Structure 1
Amino acid sequence: MGRNKKLRARIEGLRSVIAVHLRKIAREQNRSFPDDTLIRHWKTEIAAWQRTVRNLERRLGKGKRHEG
């Protein structure tokens, strides 16, 4: 698998995990007594994964640095 294909696969995987965590947060917030610690934990993980996605997207856009 090529470099760009690996980066795209990693980005897609992270986005799917982010979506799962967002659903978990929504479900927890709808409970009568939501666990704020758990929600904060999931939000922290989401923020870290979003930073990773941004970095991977930046790497994806760079391409080859030097030719020849």
Structure 2
Amino acid sequence: MTKLAIKDLSVAEGRKGEDRADVRSLSPEELRDIRGGRSIGVLVDGTHTGTVDDFAINIAIFEGRIKGSYV
């Protein structure tokens, strides 16, 4: 399995070099706690209803764990 590491993007500067002291990077612990921002209603197998996190469902589609269109 190949690993891809993406260097953190700098958030210290805003547009046109303006200082962004109010912005900080998230800690590794905070990044692990990130969840999507909305819950959406779903119909499972045409019979049961439920709610899912839109971010989680889009990631599952992207990873190929489920099929469907992005939310």
* TM-score class, shorter: under 0.3
Using CA pairs under 8 Å that are at least 6 residues apart, name the structure with larger relative contact order, 1 or 2: 1
Normalising by structure 1, what TM-score?
0.22
Tell which structure's C-alpha radius of gyration is larger: 2
Return the structure number with greater helix share.
1
